[in-house]
Structure 1
Amino acid sequence: MNQVIKVRASSWGSLFNCAYSWEGVHLLGIKSPSGPRALLGTAIHAGTAAFDTARVNGAPIDATEAAEQMLQELRFPEYDVDWRGADITPKQAERTGLALLSLYCTEVSPRYEFVAVEMETKPMLIDCGDGITIQLTGTLDRARIRKENDRIGISDVKTGGAAVVMGVAKTAPHRAQIGTYELLFEHTSGIAITAPADIIGLRTKGAPEYGIGEITGARDLMVGTEDYPGLIQIGAQMFRSGLFPPNPQAHTCSQQYCPRWSSCPYHA
């Protein structure tokens, strides 16, 4: 019997952080309340997306109007948020979000010529063998498609307390996700990605700060080369076997980040 497993493109990178946790969340449906820091990131993304979408549509808005979208998301989330024991209050979250959104709207977004924001994609089928097929679905979450000198590239907004280090956005954790986005964009549009990807980091702890980091070779990381297999090939082995290895050394291996943590036998 053939089995088609739907996988959101934005989740692919976390498969290689801790596959056991990824299986729990994305295949078994184990959920836990979101934290305030995650909500803050979601709200900032809503504000930046509103600002950039308006630019792409030829009807630009200012940072104040984008802030309304961000505050709406922050104050009235559509999912449970656990503020107990949080290291940030709702008011602090609002101040941080507004400061970062202002930086983004005035200093970051104007540097780019975006042609699409969080683009919808066509499902992409990946044959894993043994009757197992992965169907990559979804939007290019939090990503923009940009044009520079007739080349197309991905720009992806990332938030977090350590999203920016010494003035540069962290890129290493995001290469697999970017590679998936590049594949899906090419699959959907028929246009090749030829420009490097940019990670636009917005730091949510400490003084508000943004940084930009560049990623090259993300597509090859996914599909492989003559010298090494791609992450798609390696991931296909997990789906084919049904074995999703744990990673007790993952930075997200804690009750705060992993809804499977309380029943996981592999962490310390």
Structure 2
Amino acid sequence: MSVTTVRASSWGSLFDCAYKWEWIHILGHRSPSSGRAHLGTAIHAGTAAFDVSRMNGSNLTAYDTAEMLLHTLRNPEHDVDWRADKLTLNEAERIALPLHTRYCNEISPRYEFVAVERTAKPLDIDCGGGIVIRLTGQLDRARICKAGDGKGIADVKSGGAAVVDGIAKTKGHSPQIGTYEILEEHTTGEPCTAPAHIIGLKTRGKPETGIGEIRGAKAMMVGTEEFPGLIQIGAEMFRTGLFPPNPQSFLCSAKYCPRWSVCPYHE
């Protein structure tokens, strides 16, 4: 039996370009993180520290937890190519700090969190033919929050277009959210009955925050009587070893794909 471990946070990108996904997550080829990607990592570290402090009663301020943001930004765990985005460390700090403050003062108080970036119990998916996918890892950048008598996922997303007209962009996030809902239920035995929220933090232009709602993400992953779920479709890729390319992906470029230089499928 062959067991392939897949981080839950990567599942959605499998369906953008599986050929790229295989290169990164199966064959182990990675590019240095871009400056803007690392900016997002730092923002998430600071906001997570603030939310954890609310949960454990220490009630640190936005100013206090900004130290975690700055520490993460200045001390990356992996190589960062700042030139890729024409972004400097000082510019990244200037962008990050107002967004961190707005999140802490305006967004976080709307929620009652019960977990922040929970480590999930591994979940094995039998693909047939002796192939098993093992979903594992933290629910990266995601919070579990109470909603009435139930609970739901609240996932923080940052980026230049993360907020449009005051609402967080939700398009493309359902596979990851659905995977998080599956793993949360598998880990705790409790269903996610509330709609998921995307909390958007816009990192280009004027700082903006917004919230968008996602419903039916789990059904997209597990399927219904009418259509197969993305897990079943993905399992077929693992079973056959065929990971199809997507030359029309918005991320099909040398900047975003480490397989670009050896890929025969792009123009």
- Write out per-residue CA displacement over residues 243-263 of structure 1, whole angstroms, 9 at most, x where no aligned residue: 000011111111111111111
1:174 maps to 173
- Write out per-residue CA displacement over residues 80-108 of structure 1, whole angstroms, 9 at most, x where no aligned residue: 11122533221111011001000000000
What CA distance in whole angstroms lies between the structure 1 residues aligned with 2:86 and 2:30? Answer: 22
Scaled by the length of structure 1, the TM-score of the pair is 0.98
Residue 92 of structure 1 aligns to which amino acid in structure 2?
Answer: E
1:237 maps to 236
Instruction: Please show how residues 65-144 of structure 1 align to structure 2 within 5 Å.
Output: 65-144=64-143
Q: What secondary structure, in the 3-state scheme, does the structure 1 residue paired with 2:78 have?
A: coil
**Contact 2:185 2:192 (8 Å CA) reproduced:** yes
2:13 maps to 14
Moved more, 97-106 or 74-83: 74-83
What CA distance in whole angstroms lies between the structure 1 residues aligned with 2:61 and 2:9? Answer: 28
Residue 252 of structure 1 aligns to which amino acid in structure 2?
Answer: L
Unaligned runs of 5+ in 1: none
Query: 1:171, CA displacement in angstroms?
Result: 0.7
Query: 1:57, CA displacement in angstroms?
Result: 1.1
What CA distance in whole angstroms lies between the structure 2 residues aligned with 1:207 and 1:87? Answer: 18
- Write out per-residue CA displacement over residues 186-226 of structure 1, whole angstroms, 9 at most, x where no aligned residue: 00000011000000000000100011000000000000011
Identity score, percent: 65
Residue 249 of structure 1 aligns to which amino acid in structure 2?
Answer: Q
Using a 3 Å threshold, how does the CA distance of structure 1 residues 85 and 29 change in structure 2: closer, same or farther? closer
1:195 maps to 194
What CA distance in whole angstroms lies between the structure 2 residues aligned with 1:85 and 1:148? Answer: 40
Residue 99 of structure 1 aligns to which amino acid in structure 2?
Answer: P
- Note if 1:26 corresponds to 2:32: no
**Contact 2:119 2:138 (8 Å CA) reproduced:** yes
Residue 12 of structure 2 aligns to which amino acid in structure 1?
Answer: G
Residue-pair matches, total: 267
Query: 1:239, CA displacement in angstroms?
Result: 0.2
Q: What secondary structure, in the 3-state scheme, does the structure 1 residue paired with 2:53 have?
A: helix
Residue 170 of structure 2 aligns to which amino acid in structure 1?
Answer: T
Residue 41 of structure 1 aligns to which amino acid in structure 2?
Answer: G
Using a 3 Å threshold, how does the CA distance of structure 1 residues 235 and 85 change in structure 2: closer, same or farther? closer
- Note if 1:40 corresponds to 2:29: no
What CA distance in whole angstroms lies between the structure 1 residues aligned with 2:232 and 2:84? Answer: 41
Unaligned runs of 5+ in 2: none
